[in-house]
Amino acid sequence: MIQESTSGPSGEKPTPVFPLRIGCIDSGSNAIRLVAAEFRSRSSYRVLRSERAPVRLGHGVFLNGRLTPAAMDAAVDAVGSFRKILDDLAVDHFRAVATSAVREATNGAPFVARVARETGVELEPITGAEEARLAYTAVARRIPLGSTPWVTADLGGGSVEVSLIDDTGILWSESHTMGSVRLLEELAGAEDDPGRFRRVLSEYVATLRIPFPPENVAGFVATGGNIETLARLTGIPADRDGVVRIETGDLRSVIDTLARLSYRRRVEELGLREDRADVILPAAMVYERLAVLSGAGFIHVPKVGVKEGVLLDQVDALTRRESREEALDEAVRKAALNLGRRYFFDEPHARRVATLAASLFDQLRELHGLASGDRRLLVAASLLHDIGSYISRKKHHHHSYYLIRNSDLTGLASGEIQLVAA
C-alpha cells in the first residue's frame, strides 16, 4: 500500500511528475530499515537517507509465536522516528512492509494496529511470494538476466525466498522457514560449542532443495544484509555496476573463519555489528548450500533487495499507464503461473482453460453482473485447477485445493485464495 508522507487536500491526486521522492520502511525479523530516494526517472535515483534500527522482532516469534512487549515498543519508536525523517525530507510517497516475524506472530494484527495508531504508518505484512517479487524487481534492474534462468535467494531473519528468474519474470519461487534469526533461535545452546553448532547447522541446511537441474541455470544471485556483509568480509570489490562476484570457495573460507571465532571475537576482530555477529554464520551456510545446489561457481551480490524493490515498485505503480485493476490482474496471473510452475503443471492446457473461462466471463457479464475482481479469481483458479496432479492424478482436485489453499498468491488476500482453491 502506497502512503502519502504528509496529508494533503482531499480530491483526486494529480499524475506524479519527476523528480519523485519515495520512501520505504522495511520491518524485518532482525532489524527495521528506512531508505528514502529521489527518482529522476522510473529507474534512475539517488539515495537521500538510509537508516537501520537493530530491533529483533523475530526473537520472541520464533521461540513462542508472539512478538515481545519490549520488541514492539522498540519497533514503534523506530517506525515513528523513520516517519519523522520521511516528513522532514518531504518524501511524496512511501510504503511500509513487514515480513515473516509480523506475519507469523499471533499478536501481529494488534501490533500493526498499534503502529498505525501511534505513528500514522500503515504497516503491511507481506507474504513470502511478495518478498520474492520485490527482490526480483530490484535484481532485474541491476543484473542483465537474459533468457537463461538464474537462481536467486533473498535471505532474511525468518525465511529465505528461493526463486528461478529470467528477463520475463519469476518462473518458480518457494519460501522456506530457514531465516538467520530463526536458525539461531532453533539451535539455541548449540552455539556454545562452535564445532557442534556448525555440524548441526549443516544438517539443517542440507534439507534445502531446488527442483531443477543446475546445468540449466545461468548463475546464482544472493540478496539480503547478511550476504552484503559476507561480501565485505571477502574483500572482493564491486564491479562498475555495483555487483560483487564471490567465488563459492571464498565464501567457504569466510565460513571457516566465522566458525572458529566466538561471537565476541567476530565483533572485535571482524568489525561486525552485535546484531549481525550471531546470525552471520547461519546465513552464510544457507547461501553456500543454495550456491552448491544451483551449480554456480560464483555468487552475484547486487547489493539490492526487498527495500529497493519497494522503491522501484512504487514508482512503477505511480507512473504506469495501465489502471490499477489491470496491474493487479497481471500480478495475480503471474503469481498463479509461478505457483503452477512450482508443481510442474501443464502450462499450455492451463493457459487455454483460463483464456476460455475469461472469454465466457466477459461474454456473459450482463447476465452474471460480477466485478473485475471476480474475473481475476476465475482466471487464477483456471490456471491452477490441475496442479494437484503433482501429488496424484487420483482425486487430483482435492490435492489442487490443498496446494492452493496453503500457498501465497501475490495480489490476493487469504479469503480470495480460499475461493480460488474452492
pLDDT digits (tens, 9 = 90+) for 306-354: 999 999 999 988 887 666 678 788 888 988 998 898 888 999 999 999 9
Residues 294 and 173 in one domain: yes
Residues 184 and 113 in one domain: no
Is 221 inside a domain boundary? yes
Query: Is residue 70 pLDDT above 70, yes or no?
Result: yes
| Beta bridge mates, 94 | 3, 23
Average pLDDT, rounded, for the chain: 90
Q: Residue 11: what pLDDT?
A: 45
pLDDT digits (tens, 9 = 90+) for 38-49: 999 988 999 999
Burial class of residue 220 (count of CB atoms within 10 Å of its CB; 0-12, 13-18, 19+): buried
Mean pLDDT score, 343-369: 94
Residues 68 and 191 in one domain: no
Mean pLDDT score, 49-78: 95
Residue 116: name the closest of 1, 278, 249 by CA. 1
| pTM score, whole prediction | 0.83
Residues 12 and 101 in one domain: yes
pLDDT band at 77 (very low <50, low <70, confident <90, very high): very high
pLDDT band at 9 (very low <50, low <70, confident <90, very high): very low
CATH, residue 380? 1.10.3210.10
CATH, residue 221? 3.30.420.150
Query: Is residue 418 pLDDT above 70, yes or no?
Result: yes
Give the domain extent around 256.
144-301
Q: Is the dihedral of CA 261, 263, 268, 270 positive or negative?
A: positive
Mean pLDDT score, 279-298: 92
| Number of domains comprising the chain | 3
Q: Residue 82: what pLDDT?
A: 98
Is 359 inside a domain boundary? yes
Is 312 inside a domain boundary? no
Q: How far from the centroid of its chain's Cα atoms is residue 41's Cα?
A: 24
Residues 207 and 252 in one domain: yes
Residues 222 and 117 in one domain: no
Residues 66 and 177 in one domain: no
Is 132 inside a domain boundary? no
Is 310 inside a domain boundary? no
Q: By percentage, how much of the chain surpasses pLDDT 90?
A: 64
The domain boundary, picked from 65, 92, 126, lies at: 126
Residues 151 and 256 in one domain: yes
Q: By percentage, how much of the chain surpasses pLDDT 70?
A: 95
Residues 86 and 42 in one domain: yes
Mean pLDDT score, 245-252: 96
DSSP class of residue 179?
-
Residues 157 and 280 in one domain: yes
